Amino acid sequence: MTRADLNDLIARLAGQLVALRTRFEAQTQSLARSCTTGRPDSGGIDAGQLDAHRLDRKQLPSYELAFAGAELLAAETVLRESSPTSTDLAVRLALTFAATACQSITARLDQVALDLDGDTPMEPARRAELRAIYTLVLSGAALDETGRLINESRDEIGAVALSEDLVIAQGQFRRLATEVLAPVASRIHREDLLVPEPILQQFREMGVFGLSIPERYGGSAPDDRDDNLMMIAVTEALSEASLAAGGSLITRPEILSRALLSGGTAAQKEHWLPRIAAGEPPCAIAITEPDFGSDAGGLQLRGTRTEGGWLLNGAKTWCTFAGRAGLLMVVTRTAADRSLGHRGLSVLLVEKPAFDGHAFEFRQSGASGQSGNSAHSGGRLTGKAIATIGYRGMHSFDLTFENFFVPDANVIGGEAGLGRGFYFTMTGMVGGRLQTAARACGVMRAALLTALRYAADRKVFNAPLGDYSLTRAKLAHMAARFAACRQLTYAVGQQVDAGGGRMEASLIKLFACRSAEWLTREALQIHGGMGYAEETAVSRYFVDARVLSIFDGAEETLAIKVVARSLFEQALKSAAAAA
Amino acid sequence: MTRADLNDLIARLAGQLVALRTRFEAQTQSLARSCTTGRPDSGGIDAGQLDAHRLDRKQLPSYELAFAGAELLAAETVLRESSPTSTDLAVRLALTFAATACQSITARLDQVALDLDGDTPMEPARRAELRAIYTLVLSGAALDETGRLINESRDEIGAVALSEDLVIAQGQFRRLATEVLAPVASRIHREDLLVPEPILQQFREMGVFGLSIPERYGGSAPDDRDDNLMMIAVTEALSEASLAAGGSLITRPEILSRALLSGGTAAQKEHWLPRIAAGEPPCAIAITEPDFGSDAGGLQLRGTRTEGGWLLNGAKTWCTFAGRAGLLMVVTRTAADRSLGHRGLSVLLVEKPAFDGHAFEFRQSGASGQSGNSAHSGGRLTGKAIATIGYRGMHSFDLTFENFFVPDANVIGGEAGLGRGFYFTMTGMVGGRLQTAARACGVMRAALLTALRYAADRKVFNAPLGDYSLTRAKLAHMAARFAACRQLTYAVGQQVDAGGGRMEASLIKLFACRSAEWLTREALQIHGGMGYAEETAVSRYFVDARVLSIFDGAEETLAIKVVARSLFEQALKSAAAAA
């Protein structure tokens, strides 16, 4: 295909996406109305409020709608970013992804339609057009050609136009990842080690922990605006070498610093932000509890008032890095009235010594730096690491607090912050989801590049594996999906920097995490038996990727409670405005 | 829906499958013709022979066609097996699976069509009928009801009509699995242990190793016919507790005993079969080599003639259980003329002591039982276990043979067996693939049942997880897929017993293994964070399931080189017969 042919296909696919967007919005409206308390046919402003029970009954179509929305956004993004300066390969990957997304979105919207009345079937002319596009882009012959170009190309796959600063930083952090982290990443995984102190120290020196902290507080983000792109670039580069001992180290300061920036007192910001940015103490986030994962309103870890502060009693779980961390952000129920739900939560900062092993016990004594009040000695915090199949390098802990004292000064926002902990946490969550998408991109890039190398080197039936048309088709799909995730992650980063992108951050989290599962599975499969061996890095990427759809907002909760719900709210609002 | 409604849907879906089968066969014909040396439009007998180069160019459509064939067979089977005595739930699961398969097959055939001329688009009436069926079976509301029935039911999911003998055996082996194997399965996995000797001993006493060996040779299979159903039932029951330390122990005697039965001399059968059946010595299969996985024609491990036998030199890899085994079935290149390809291979039986650890070295001495000839002392066999992410319990070894002596008596088939090793091996492969499908079913059953239990016990937002419609929809799809795999595995077992089912064994291997990956992924996801913890069994099912599409015929090779190729050969043959 000539470049003109490719450009023509871009336009044709964009046209198909417009039609899908229209159908998506109509379905969103219709599904939203069916979940309100009003009469389903009343429409607009009369349709009433979203009803929890009705929403629950529509979980499956809501879930499919959320994923369709993610794929639609990704497809629109890759087509929009195809420009005259893009290479032919980049354009082919955009086409490959967008066409595959068209198929997937159509299937999802068909599923949604099964629970709706009045969805219009696709016209025959549009079917014929789609079939013509798919033949040019997704046939075995077309993918073979795309795969061949990938094998020959030395260009960056999924290239994103970055500022000079970002290009320099990306290069530096990729070198750090390759030279310092990658050589120990396999050992950290196989022996379930904590990220070694010398590596933490190098990360500190490179400013890894201050990426979202404004310069005036000792970080490297501009004082006057957010800079998510730098955070994304660094996260991706480090995650490529190791998910847990690399990119994920950034998630904790990301969430805590944003909570502090949004809710902390001036004194708290001045005290903590420079320390977090410097990576000393390292920090950890304690939200999830054994009986409450996604349901913040039910969190039970109690803080009760005592002289000069609070006594914490209860349990947290999945608190990653809690052993090594010197500072824990603990979402605590400070209100006695349980009916307040998430409005009874506050964020308390727990200081503790660093522990290296898989279990620790910390007893507070009157002499501890945290509490000068000997009346509060005897508090206890114990932690026990949960063994996991991957995501190793920080250890994730079960924590138990017993009469653990936290001074008033460590309540984020002070008295005014009481009851606002949920909101402070949520501020960090947008950045956290974006950061998780960047983590997924790093893992995907590692898996894709190793699959490409293996396919080039491994001979099967006397020819390199990568010369076979099935391998090329697989590599084309993998490269296309990775490129789309990457481009969308940076695009959403820009939106968030501009003050928007809240829902988009959830969409890219959903999409990139699921994509990483799929792509690492394919990359492992290309390696055959060797892919299943622990000595082969791709086996680690595969088990690491599996955590992505679980943590930081399990995909079901994110799809239904966050994405679909806000799509419905928007739809009802715009219907009301139009009425 | 009433039972009459359900029966009506069965008939309507069966009608859709007929249409899909017709399209599948037309595409197979068309694709086969496009891969011949003759003119693509000549058709029938003039179309010539399949051409390796053209086949290679059609790998993607061939791969999709093979999976479509597997899904089609599974869907036809579940609908056929729905009977008046089936429970409503069983019928709903059959409908759920068959409708989902319709969607998937249509998508795959649409993909195949992109590389073909002249595929006819679906008529609008059939689209409308499919949409109506999907609404009744696959909408969120329909799946919610199916999921509710699953939660309430105490019936066996995927029940298959079994003979009394089989029911008794299934019960016994499920008890053995639950009481003896399950309690140690997690430890075996997490500490990468060899299956403990007392468990092997219990398996021996229960006759686990002689399931495919006729009674006259000390096994439990009938003398006059094959009995794959017993092998399937036992494999499935044991795999539910542990893939590697359970069901997979049966694969090795399965393959070796069938090779012996098909090619061994009378003396070899009498000597070896009773020993294999008794499980002493345990055996292992050495085929794959570091540079040759699926390409038997390229295998290089050399056997050179020496006085009284053969000297083996070369390497094998992925030889599971080779340490503990006392008998290795080694596919060896005994012909000097390399151009003979797979016709230069023979099967040699290597006797060795049992070793427990992750590495071993065995030096032959003149005094060894195997060789009375002191001239052959000095042979050496070393093994080193390959660490893997799952499938732990038997250890899979890299093996190196150096001047390792094997007496003539240990060449399967003796002089007449030379050069026929590939065929003897293939005889065992049909049973091996069927057995692998049964292994996949065991893993799936374990994952499904644990997901059901977790969904019933775990409360989220104050209600059991299993009460939510998204969970119910997921459980419905999981149960439906498992039931289909199980029913198809037994159905193919019967076909193989009746002397057929060669290709069907490959189809069910493809389909059950891929299904196990998908189902264990979903089961893990239902567990949320706990699913990722090593202490939760589902995390083991997930990593174990990942091996299934790799070993025992990697899915790409099986789909393209075995399934698609024989579909094409059949199609060309029947076209020629019709001409």
Q: Which residues, 6 or more positions from A543, have their beta carbon under 8 angstroms from its beta carbon?
A: A389, A390, A391, B389, B543
Q: Bridge-partner residues for A380, per DSSP? A: A363, A402
Mean pLDDT of chain A: 94
Provide the whole-model pTM: 0.96
Residue B479 phi/psi, 5° resolution? -65, -40
Q: Are strands B327-333 and B283-286 parallel, antiparallel or unpaired?
A: parallel
Q: Is the pLDDT of residue A451 over 60?
A: yes
Specify the residue for token string 């006594």: A311
Residues of B in contact with A111 (CB under 8 A): 138
Report which of residues A231 and A365 the model is more confident about: A231
Match 């069927």 to its residue by tokens.
B434
- B48 vs A105, A394, B101, B432, CA distance in Å? 41, 62, 34, 33
Residue B388 has its nearest CB partner, among A56, A459, A532, at A532
- Choose among A386, A470, A534: nearest Cβ to B387: A534
pLDDT band at B416 (very low <50, low <70, confident <90, very high): very high
Is B37 a residue whose pLDDT tops 60? yes
Short-list B413, B574, B482, B510, CA closest to B239: B482
d(CA B462, CA B447): 25
Q: Tell me: pLDDT of B279 over 80.
A: yes
Yes or no: say if A101 and A72 are a contact pair by the CB < 8 Å rule: yes
Asked if B132 has any chain A CB less than 8 Å from its own CB, the reply is: no
Continuous segment of H or E residues that includes residue A397: strand A396-407
Mean local confidence (pLDDT), B149-171: 95
How far does B532 lie from chain A, in Å, by closest CA? 6
The kind and range of the H/E element at B285 are strand B283-286
Report residue A46's pLDDT band, with 50, 70 and 90 as the boundaries.
Answer: low
In this predicted structure, the answer to whether residue B387 has a pLDDT above a threshold of 70 is: yes
What are the helix (H) ranges across B285-420? 414-417
* Cβ contact A528–B554 (<8 Å): yes
Secondary structure in 3-state letters for A475-497? HHHHHHHHHHHHHHHHHHHHHHH
pLDDT grade for A368, boundaries at 50, 70 and 90: very low
Q: Up-side HSE of residue A142: CA atoms within 13 Å toward CB?
A: 24
Q: Which residues pair with B524 in a beta bridge?
A: none
Per-residue pLDDT at A118:
76
pLDDT tier for residue A59 given thresholds of 50, 70 and 90: very high
pLDDT digits (tens, 9 = 90+) for A477-515: 999 999 999 999 999 999 999 999 999 999 999 999 999
- Report the distance separating Cα A239 and Cα A227, nearest Å: 19
pLDDT in the model for residue B371: 46
Q: What is the per-residue pLDDT across A457-470, written as a single tens digit (0 to 9) for each?
A: 999 888 999 999 99
What own/partner pairs with CB < 8 Å and gap ≥ 24 does B374-377 have? Answer: B375/B307, B376/B306, B376/B307, B376/B308, B376/B309, B376/B311, B376/B405
DSSP for A257-316, please give it: HHHHHHH--HHHHHHHHHHHHHTSS-EEEE--BTTBSS-GGG---EEEEETTEEEEEEEE
Confidence of residue A428 (pLDDT cuts 50, 70, 90): confident
Q: Closest to A469 (Cβ–Cβ): which among B59, B135, B462?
A: B59
The answer to whether A462 contacts B535, with C-beta atoms less than 8 Å apart, is no
Residue A371: is its pLDDT beyond 60? Answer: no
Q: How confident is the model at residue A114 (pLDDT cuts 50, 70, 90)?
A: very high
| Distance of alpha carbon A314 from the chain centroid | 28
Q: Which of B284, B298, B417, B402 is nearest to B351 (CA)?
A: B284
State yes or no: pLDDT of B397 exceeds 80.
Answer: yes
Number of Cβ within a 10 Å radius of residue A69: 26
Cβ–Cβ under 8 Å, residues A293 and A465? no
pLDDT of residue B525 exceeding 80, the answer is yes
The values of phi and psi at residue A166, to 5°, are: -70, -40
Compute the distance between CA of residue B190 and CA of residue B342 in angstroms, rounded to an integer.
Answer: 39
Q: Average pLDDT, stretch A5-13?
A: 96
Question: How far is the alpha carbon of B470 from chain A, nearest alpha carbon, in Å?
Answer: 5
Instruction: Judge: B532–A143 Cβ closer than 8 Å, yes or no.
Output: no
Residue B372 is predicted with a pLDDT of 47
What is the Cβ-side half-sphere exposure of residue B429, based on CA atoms within 13 angstroms? 20
pLDDT for residue B205 is more than 80: yes
Host H or E run for residue B310: strand B309-320
The DSSP element (H or E) to which A407 belongs, if any, is strand A396-407
Q: Distance between CA atoms of A316 and A444, rounded to whole angstroms?
A: 31
The first and second tokens of residue A514, run together, are 């699921």
Say if the Cβ atoms of B528 and A293 lie within 8 Å. yes
Confidence at B556, pLDDT banded by 50, 70, 90: very high
pLDDT digits (tens, 9 = 90+) for B298-355: 899 999 999 999 999 999 999 999 999 999 999 999 999 989 999 999 999 999 999 9
Tell me the C-alpha distance between B275 and A552, whole Å. 55
Alpha-carbon distances, residue B448 vs A409, B455, B486 (angstroms): 49, 10, 13
User: What one-character DSSP code corresponds to residue B178?
Assistant: I
Give the pLDDT of residue A38. 67
DSSP bridge partners of B301: none
Residue A56 forms contact with B (CB below 8 Å): yes
Of A60, A468, A549, nearest to B143 by CB-CB distance is A60
A155-174 residues touching B, CB cutoff 8 A:
none
CB contact under 8 A, A60 and B469: yes
CA angle A219, A220, A222 (to 5 degrees): 110
Cα A25 to Cα A31: distance, rounded to the nearest angstrom: 10
A138 in B contact zone (CB under 8 Å): yes
Number of other CB atoms surrounding residue B10 within 10 Å: 19
pLDDT on residue A293? 72
Contact B289, B314 (CB under 8 A): yes
| Contact predicate A293/B529, CB 8 Å | yes
Q: How far is CA A422 from the centre of its chain?
A: 19
pLDDT tier at A374, thresholds 50, 70, 90: very low
What is the per-residue DSSP string for A77-110? HHHHH--TTS-HHHHHHHHHHHHHHHHHHHHHHH
Q: Nearest by CB to A534, which of B190, B389, B555?
A: B389
**Mean pLDDT of the residues in chain B:** 94
Q: What pLDDT, on the 0 to 100 scale, is given for residue B375? A: 52
- Residues B442-465, mean pLDDT to the nearest whole number: 95
Supply the pLDDT for residue B47: 53
Contact B292, B298 (CB under 8 A): yes
For residue A175 the two structure tokens come to 């070198």
Q: Is B120 touching A (CB cutoff 8 A)?
A: no
Q: Are B282 and B197 in contact (CB under 8 A)?
A: no
The answer to whether B412 and B346 are in contact (CB under 8 A) is: yes
Strands of B419-573, DSSP E: 459-460, 463-464
Confidence band of A399 (pLDDT split at 50, 70, 90): very high
> With contact defined as beta carbons under 8 Å apart, do B4 and B96 qualify?
no
ipTM of the complex: 0.96
Distances (CA, A) of B4 to A508, B7, B91: 45, 5, 11
The Cα B290–Cα B399 span in angstroms is: 10
pLDDT for B38? 67
Cβ separation of A543 and B127 shorter than 8 Å? Answer: no
Cβ within 8 Å of residue B46, ≥6 positions away: B38, B39, B579
SS3 at position A531 = helix
As a whole number, mean pLDDT of residues A127-132 equals 95
List, for residues A260-281, the tens digit of each pLDDT value.
999 999 999 999 999 999 999 9
Q: Side chain identity at B6, as an amino acid letter?
A: L
Q: How many CB pairs under 8 A join A and B?
A: 186
Q: Kindly report, residue by residue over B541-551, the tens digit of the pLDDT.
A: 999 999 999 98
Look-up: residue for tokens 């949409």?
B131
Q: Which of A32, A21, A109 is nearest to A568 (CA)?
A: A32
CB contact under 8 A, B550 and A531: yes
- Note the pLDDT tens digit of each residue in A317-359: 999 999 999 999 999 999 999 899 999 999 999 999 999 999 9
Contact A61 B459 (CB under 8 A): no
Chain B hits for A447, CB-CB cut-off 8 Å, are none
The verdict on A531 touching B (C-beta cutoff 8 Å) is yes
Instruction: Pick the closest to residue A557 from A110, A37, A56 (CA basis).
Output: A56
CB of B177 within 8 A of CB of B246? yes
Q: What is the mean pLDDT of residues A520-539?
A: 97
pLDDT at B227: 87
pLDDT at B42 over 80: no
Among the listed ranges A12-26, A75-89, B111-125, which one has the minimum average pLDDT value?
A: B111-125
**How far is it, in rounded angstroms, from Cα B571 to Cα B577?**
10
Q: Does B117 touch chain A (CB under 8 A)?
A: no
Inform me whether the pLDDT recorded for A44 exceeds 50. Answer: no
